[in-house]
Amino acid sequence: MTSIDHPLFSLLESRHSCRKYLDERIPRATMEEILTATRKAPICNPGIFFVLSDPALQAFCDELAPHVAAERPEQNEYGYLPKPMPPFLKDRQRAPGYALYNSLGIARRDIAGRRAQFASNYRFFDVPVGIIVSIRRDMGAGCYMDLGMSILALMLAAKSLDYASCGIGAFANYGRFVHRLPEASRR
Ligand SMILES: Cc1cc2nc3c(=O)[nH]c(=O)nc-3n(C[C@H](O)[C@H](O)[C@H](O)COP(=O)(O)O)c2cc1C
């Protein structure tokens, strides 16, 4: 229960990471509106947003697919968790994974099923619009805070228009590939 009664809070409460999408186009004007929210966050440096829809989105996924199938991740773009991971973090990281596989009926020992689900990260879960979020390499770690706020603003703006979203940090496993994105898709 909360005493906060504001539409923004309802948006926060009602959003969740969505991993299955309708095959529906998002009008360009709507996308522009949603992206504008990234600049409304309390930030100085919003990062760089590469917006991909078909056919560029399909081409990106097709070109990445052989790398994923060969399971040849490149060096991670950025560190996320400490190595070695303390047990409490391991538990925290596993919990959403197990919840996801459970909800999809994928058993813990079903390695093929888990791999297939993981591979769908690299097809953006078949979403109509995929956004690669990037930041200049020479920006300090503090700018990741700005970036996170921009991303949340974008997700909430999307949700306010009834569009779901999901972060996909897995792309950071293929950073060099992702950096080949054409200048043309920059915003
Ligand atoms: C930066 C970031 C990266 C994420 N990367 C992935 C990912 O690679 N694959 C995935 O299925 N979910 C990913 N997620 C979604 C998280 O698992 C999810 O936000 C978290 O479990 C909380 O669940 P909720 O968003 O439904 O509240 C990511 C979320 C964030 C914010």
Residue 121 Cβ contacting ligand 1 at under 6 Å: yes
Residue 166 Cβ contacting ligand 1 at under 6 Å: yes
Burial of 127 (0-12, 13-18, 19+ CB in 10 A): buried
Asked if residue 17 lies in contact with residue 166, where contact means CB atoms within 8 angstroms, the answer is yes
pLDDT for 182 equals: 58
The sign of the torsion formed by the CA atoms of 90, 116, 17, 128 equals: positive
pTM metric for this prediction: 0.91
- Range 84-93 average pLDDT: 92
Q: What's the pLDDT tens digit per position in 144-171?
A: 999 999 999 999 999 999 999 999 999 9
* 3-state helix vs strand vs coil in the chain, percent to 5: 50, 10, 40
Cα-only R_g, the chain: 17
183 has pLDDT over 80: no
Q: Which amino acid is at 58?
A: Q
- Range 53-72 average pLDDT: 90
> Which atom of ligand 1 is nearest to 125's Cα?
11
Residue 149 Cβ contacting ligand 1 at under 6 Å: no
Asked if residue 19 lies in contact with residue 100, where contact means CB atoms within 8 angstroms, the answer is yes
Residue 104 Cβ contacting ligand 1 at under 6 Å: no
Residue 97 Cβ contacting ligand 1 at under 6 Å: no
pLDDT for 1 equals: 67
Closest CA relative to residue 33, chosen from 166, 159, 147, 130: 159
**Which residues are paired to 134 by β-bridges?**
48
Distance 97 CA to ligand 1 centre (A): 10
Supply the residue whose CA is at minimum distance from atom 6 of ligand 1: 168
Domains and CATH numbers, the chain: 7-77+125-185 (3.40.109.10)
Residue 86 Cβ contacting ligand 1 at under 6 Å: no
Distance 85 CA to ligand 1 centre (A): 18
Reduced to 3 states, what is the DSSP secondary structure of residue 168?
coil
% of the chain surpassing 90 pLDDT: 72
Q: What's the pLDDT tens digit per position in 20-57?
A: 999 999 999 999 999 999 999 999 877 899 999 999 99
Pull the structure tokens for residue 127: 């979403």
> For the chain, what is the mean pLDDT?
91
